[in-house]
A and B are shown apart, each in its own frame.
Chain A
Amino acid sequence: MDRIVLIGLNHKTAPVEIREKFAVVCVDTSGPLMNLTQMRALRESFYLSTCNRMEVLFTTPRLDEGISAVVGLLADIYGQTGSALKPYLYTYIDQDAVKHLYRVACSLDSMVVGESQILGQIKDAYRQATEAKTSGVILNRLLHKSFSVAKQVRTETRIGSSAVSISYAAVELAKKIFQELQGRTALLIGAGEMAELAAEHLLSNGVERIVVANRTLERALALAKRFNGTTVGWDELAEELRRVDIIVSSTGSPEPILSAEQVKQRMRARRNRPLFFIDIAVPRDIDPEVNRIDNVYLYNIDDLQGIVEMNQAERLKEAARAEHIIAAEALKFDGWLRTLEVVPTIVSLREKAEQVREAEVRKTLSRLESFSEEEVEAIEVLTQSMVKKLLHDPILFLKRTSNRERKDYYLDVARKLFHLDLDRSETEEEEDQLSLDSDKMS
């Protein structure tokens, strides 16, 4: 029976100097895939590379040969000997490999636990593997399962539901105040990496317009150009409060630049539409008293940091629930893998035929009660021999399959043909395929 192996490295096992080498070399992911297909010890393969990880998943009939071949290939990419690379690599086999893939897909293994990008990256990588035809019966099923496990974890736990960066936390709060950010205007006071990041997040979440204010006009113009916005003079800052909804402030000013009184005066002109201040400057730019005004909300850097920490703690708790789901699903996959052998397939084929036969005989006899014992006996014998004759050729075919090169392929077809995997409906597979296609389009 083929073994499933996963060899890889991630942000926990390898420093960035190593990871970036792979990231650079592997931008063209089809390259390594091509190399993998040329390896004779490998049967199916799948290759994933992101900035934080690199994973090679494959099946092989000869475990040691397969592993050393893949490590050799990775060493070539890295431009080193296999032994120099070894300390950074992890190798998982069979159940452990399945579990690891599920954990990666569910983003439990990510730097930011619960982030959602990784699933898309796996889907992309899988698409490339299917296009290069490197994946087969086992990996197809395994990857599809990893998508559905990730979906299950996402819906049944709250692992991806909370913001774990300051700018995400700010956007999330803004949505709790404004519901949607479409049509809102944000005022960016001062510059700085964090403020610009926040502005970017606001824009990508629907904020329509960015207004920039800066003590130096050049800087203001540059920022406004970057965000496709407009500028406002430093002296008109308070007046601008009539027109904006969200204020991101991060100047280096030693004293507050907006007082509660200045804000309060503008609320009537705003007809009390809410104002949301995000003050990420230290020392603070906005008078803390501003938070006391009706319909005005003020968050400083510590407030946002507090939310981020709270959310991170929540995610870790949810991760424990996700691990449980993954362990259960990995066991199920193992169960399926065991049926992908000649003898279990023949057994379940016979069982299914016998069940059908018994049910049909029972149905017929219950309607016709006039039969004698001998007649009943004759019907039993007749149906039994029919089933036996019908199954004779398929079973002979399956037995010969043992010696074929692509045994798992024939077994898989046979199982599908007779619908022997009850948990696996055709529609389920179609859905998986559809979700893959829809991703491709978007």
Chain B
Amino acid sequence: MNESVLLFSVITTLLYAVGTVGFLIYVIRTEKVIHRIAYGFLLAGFVSHTLGLAMLVSQLRQMPVTTLPQTFSLFAWAIVGSYLAFQLKFNIRILGTFVSPLAVVFMLLSSAIPGRVIPNSQLFKSFWLTLHVATMFIGMAIFALAFCAGIMYLLQERQIKSKSFGLLYRRLPSLEVLDSLNYVCLTFGFPLITIGLISGFVYAGAVWQSFWHWDPKEILSVVTWLIYAVLLHERLAVGWRGRRAAIMAIIGFSVILVTFVGTSVILEVHHSFKLG
């Protein structure tokens, strides 16, 4: 059983990697066929990923977040899933070029880091934890898309402002589309991480009899939430947009990365997926 989970993870990583290469080729040779093939590989990767995760869940009988590799893999899955969903709506072909490398990086991280298998713990069997994990991961994945949109915006804006047009000028969509992608990601992602944080606190309160532990991960999570709260507020109140919104989305996701990856790997805290 464990071996087939591993096999699925290898196949998934390979499919994502081939898709990424396809998306990179697409930058140089803008042909629909290449995009379709790359998209197909990513989709196939997602299907294989979903199967692998389903198998893992049926084995663990809980959310697949018991080890660090599992969480990275789940995050990659959430990123690809939200990308596939957003792509249906926005149809920005070049978006895959920016998103797919992220998925590959997280899959590789997932296989590079040794994960200790933890004995089946009652701690993971809670409605609040399931809600916390689901909303957090999807919310963060959507913010990963906003991060990509932010980078694309800055690249495109710099070309238009400086009047020097490179290879990407034609490939990248208009500033308007990139900015609205940023906004849509924010309106979906923000409620999700808000629910995620609240359910996390409720869960912590239930398990450790205290909502707040001054744990770095908790602090950084609240900082992340504040960043996106400010961005959303300023967008709605004074019409922040474009460059500033793009930079905020990039900063926000960077803090997420530090929170999610940094503290998990470096710090010994109760939130670090090394639960004892």
Contact = CB atoms under 8 A, between A and B. Distances in A.
Interface stretch (A200-208, A289-297, A343-351): A289-297
Contact of B163 (A161, A177, A272, A306): A306
Contact of B165 (A175, A179, A310): A310
Contacts of A291: 161
A295 B156 contact: no
B176 A179 contact: yes
B238 A268 contact: yes
Interface stretch (B108-116, B218-226, B239-247): B239-247
Contact of A272 (B165, B174, B176, B242): B242
A180 B177 CA distance: 10
B156 A272 contact: no
A294 B242 contact: yes
Interface in A162-197: 173, 175-180
A303 interface: yes
Contacts of A175: 174
A273 B161 contact: no
Given A271-B238, A272-B239, A295-B241, A178 B176 contact: yes
Interface string A248-286: 000000000000000000001011111000000000000
Contacts of B14: none
Contacts of B216: none
Nearest to B175: A177
B242 A295 contact: yes
Contacts of B169: 176
B244 A274 contact: no
Nearest to A271: B239
B101 interface: no
Contact of A179 (B160, B177, B238, B243): B177
A66 B199 CA distance: 88
Contact-residue bracket for chain B: 10 to 19
B242 A297 contact: no
B40 interface: no
A272 B241 contact: yes
A336 interface: no
B160 A272 contact: no
Contact of A294 (B163, B174, B177, B244): B244
B174 A176 contact: yes
B7 to A, nearest CB: 41
A303 B161 CA distance: 11
Contacts of B163: 299, 303, 306-307
Contacts of A273: 239, 241
Contacts of B156: 176
B174 A297 contact: no
Nearest to A307: B165
28 contacts: A176-B174, A176-B175, A177-B160, A177-B174, A178-B174, A178-B175, A178-B176, A179-B173, A179-B176, A179-B177, A180-B176, A268-B239, A271-B241, A272-B238, A272-B240, A272-B242, A273-B239, A274-B175, A274-B176, A274-B242, A294-B243, A295-B241, A295-B242, A295-B243, A299-B163, A303-B163, A307-B163, A307-B165
Interface of B: 156, 160-161, 163, 165, 169-170, 173-177, 238-244
Interface of A: 161, 173, 175-180, 268, 270-274, 291, 294-295, 297, 299, 303, 306-307, 310
Q: Which 5 A-B pairs rank lowest in CB-CB distance, beginning with the nearest? A: A271-B239, A179-B176, A179-B174, A295-B242, A272-B239
